[in-house]
Amino acid sequence: MAVSARTEFDVAAPPSVVMEVLMDVESLPEWSGPHKAAAIVSEHDDGTPDQVTMTVSAAGVNDDQTVSYAWTDNTCSWSLIESKMLAEQQGKYTVTPSGDGSHVEFELEIDLKVKLPGMLVKRGQKTAVETAKKGLTAESERRAQA
């Protein structure tokens, strides 16, 4: 059964800085609690990350994943290539200007290979949304101040 999560939030950093944080996928473990490791396997012709391997731990579930990223000037999207625990995963950040900062929309849809109790699934959804909001906001604002 596929589950989805969605949130919108504002960041006190310009869109270019938010996109810079998203493109720096190897820094994911620094600002995203569930990500324990991330490494770029291949890059697109323009140097942006293409395939990335990551180790993720959320709601008591540990997983090694490979995802494929796609980029535009204001979006970061990814789709699952390989995982032990997930059958499918699609995610997307859309970053738009908002005053002196940015407005961010985050969407995530996953389909688990294994059946988990609803409580764990809900906790995983909450973790994904909180990480997207709090972690990305804090890291983007930190870099904007640097």
Q: What is the pLDDT of residues 72-95, one digit of tens each?
A: 999 999 999 999 988 888 999 999
Lowest mean per-residue pLDDT among 6-10, 48-52, 111-115, 131-135:
111-115
pLDDT in tens, 8-22: 999 999 999 999 999
In the chain, count of helices (H) and strands (E)?
Answer: 4, 7
pLDDT of amino acid 110: 82
Can you name the residues that pair with 63 across neighbouring β-strands? 56
What is the average per-residue pLDDT within 64-79?
97
Mode of pairing for the β-strands spanning 51-58 and 35-40: antiparallel
Q: How far apart are CA 105 and CA 145, in angstroms?
A: 22
Tell me: pLDDT of 113 over 70.
yes
For the residues of the chain, what is the DSSP string, one character each? -EEEEEEEEEESS-HHHHHHHHH-GGGHHHH-TTEEEEEE--B-TTS-B-EEEEEEEETTEEEEEEEEEEE-SSEEEEEEEEESSEEEEEEEEEEEEETTEEEEEEEEEEEESS---HHHHHHHHHHHHHIIIIIHHHHHHHHHH-
pTM for the whole structure: 0.90
